[in-house]
Amino acid sequence: MAASLLAVACGCGPGGGDAREDRERAALQRVLERQASAVRSGDESRYVAETDARAARYRTAQRKVFGNLQRLPFTEWSYRILKLRHTERDGRARVEADVRLSYRLRGDDRAPVTATERLAFAKRDGRWYVSAELPGSDRQLWEQGEITVVRGEQSMVLGVGRSREALRALARDADRSVSEVSGVWTRPWPRRVVVEAPESLRRMAQLLDAPAKTYEGIAAVTTGEAGESTKAPADRIVVNPEAYGELSDEGRQVVLTHETVHVATRTHTGSATPLWLSEGLADWIGYRGTGRTPKGAAAELVRAAEAGELPRELPSDRDFRFGSDPEALGRAYESGWLACRFIAGEWGDAKLLDFYLRVGESGSTGGEGNGDEASVDRAMREELGLTLGEFTERWRSYVRDELS
């Protein structure tokens, strides 16, 4: 392979190595296309026929995966090879590939959801087969055990290791969250959510590719990409069964509504949007109608007020990192909530939403959480008539008054 690359770099040689790799890539792509066709048509034997018969454990696991996939209403399922690598294992050469999986759920995904899989291929009697899924692949709920699907009126809940009754209750909460968010956020959005309910915190962390301790005490998170494109990949609300299960009925509803806000606002959240604003808006909508006051809901800020240590600045994006000091994380969320509550109380609900939209439009799109202070300052001047510094001073006084 090195010689082939050198020949190309020098502009000499017949290029046979590249031709061989092209043929190999095409052969592997055909294997994956046959598997994708089997998923779409529901043909288990055709799907399994593309796996290596000598990789018995992998083949058995893929039978279970296929059974799960048939429970899901896919309208699209396809693979595309991105990158090939030639390696050796147990003295035998093999090919590994980074593969882009694209799929879409009927009625829930406006654009395909994508994931990256790292697969190994083995050649037997002149024919290629998938022989393993390698570390580094994006993990999926349908790989974690038998999946149960429950449809709500405005939601779909996918669960593993959870009772159907529990999943129905989750769907009812999700439906209510969609209705609550739609009553406030009137911009176009799918008005549907997909909720994933893994069996444990450890399984949740696998889906999110992070250590379990990162999400200890976190009841739910939303995956997806921010940006103004209406074709942004679909979000998934992933529930931590341990933390979520410890909440009251009201607490669970607040959490799901909070996460649903992220789904609804995703296409209007840009790189300039600070986390205090995106998380604060989600909490502001989540707490609406609960009657909760800052003294009753902002426990960490109450403790800070009692100690004379209220924050002097709005929280930075770093303050919202999971797995950090839980008390500091609590103060960050509560500070963002009170900032949005202050704007809504002082300038009105509509102005809070206009401000959010203006900030999102002011920066480049493609991911929330970078927080461009100049853009935030400009949006504040235009929408609220204050500089960011002036707003911060008034927010500090508001927090002190609300918690005194």
- Reported as a single tens digit per residue, the pLDDT across 239-272 is 999 999 999 999 999 999 999 999 999 999 999 9
Pick from 279, 276, 195: which is nearest to 236 by CA?
195
**pLDDT > 90? residue 91:** no
Average pLDDT score over residue span 194-205: 96
Q: Is 72 left (phi over 0), alpha (psi -120 to 50) or beta?
A: beta
Query: What percent of the chain shows pLDDT beyond 90?
Result: 82
Average pLDDT score over residue span 158-183: 97
φ, ψ of residue 359 to 5 degrees: the values are -65, -45
Average pLDDT score over residue span 212-223: 92
Q: Do residues 104 and 194 touch, judged by C-beta distance below 8 A?
A: no
Count CA atoms closer than 13 A to 321's CA, side-chain side.
8
Query: 10-27 pLDDT, tens per residue?
Result: 333 334 458 888 999 999
Please tell me which residue, 353 or 90, carries the higher pLDDT value: 353
Structure tokens at 157: 């809940």
Give Cα separations from 263 to 238, 257, 295, 317 (angstroms).
12, 10, 28, 19
| Helical pair 299-306 and 388-403, crossing angle rounded to 10 deg | 80
Q: What angle do CA 42, 48, 51 make, to 5 degrees?
A: 145
CB environment 166-201: b (16+ within 10 A), e (fewer): bbeebbbbbbbbbebbeebbeeebbebbbbbbbeeb
Find the range with the poorest average confidence among 136-150, 184-198, 318-332.
318-332
Q: Residue 19 has what pLDDT?
A: 86
The fold for domain 139-264 equals Glutaredoxin (3.40.30)
Question: E strands within 106-246?
Answer: 113-124, 127-133, 147-151, 155-160, 193-197, 220-223, 236-239
Q: Do residues 240 and 170 touch, judged by C-beta distance below 8 A?
A: no
Q: Where in the chain is the domain with CATH 3.10.450.50?
A: 15-138
In CATH, the architecture of 15-138 is Roll (3.10)
Helices (H) and strands (E) in the chain, counts: 15, 9
Count CA atoms closer than 13 A to 396's CA, side-chain side.
14
Q: Do residues 266 and 360 touch, judged by C-beta distance below 8 A?
A: no
Q: Residue 18 has what pLDDT?
A: 81
CB environment 265-274: b (16+ within 10 A), e (fewer): bbbbbbbbbb
The DSSP string of 157-191 is EEEES--HHHHHHHHHHHHHHHHHHHTT--S----
Pick from 90, 89, 42, 91: which is nearest to 69 by CA?
42
**pLDDT > 90? residue 366:** no
Find the range with the poorest average confidence among 19-33, 87-101, 103-117, 313-327.
87-101
Is the four-CA dihedral 143, 145, 148, 152 of positive or negative sign?
negative
Confidence grade of residue 1 (pLDDT, cut at 50, 70, 90): very low
Average pLDDT score over residue span 180-195: 95
**Cross-strand bridge partners of residue 127:** 124
Q: Residue 117 has what pLDDT?
A: 97
Q: Residue 246 has what pLDDT?
A: 94
3-state SS track over 245-289: HCCCHHHHHHHHHHHHHHHHHHHHCCCCCCHHHHHHHHHHHHHCC
Confidence grade of residue 235 (pLDDT, cut at 50, 70, 90): confident
Q: Do residues 102 and 114 touch, judged by C-beta distance below 8 A?
A: yes
Pick from 162, 179, 308, 357: which is nearest to 242 by CA?
162
Confidence grade of residue 231 (pLDDT, cut at 50, 70, 90): very low
Average confidence score pLDDT of the chain = 90
Find the range with the poorest average confidence among 6-10, 32-36, 250-254, 297-301.
6-10
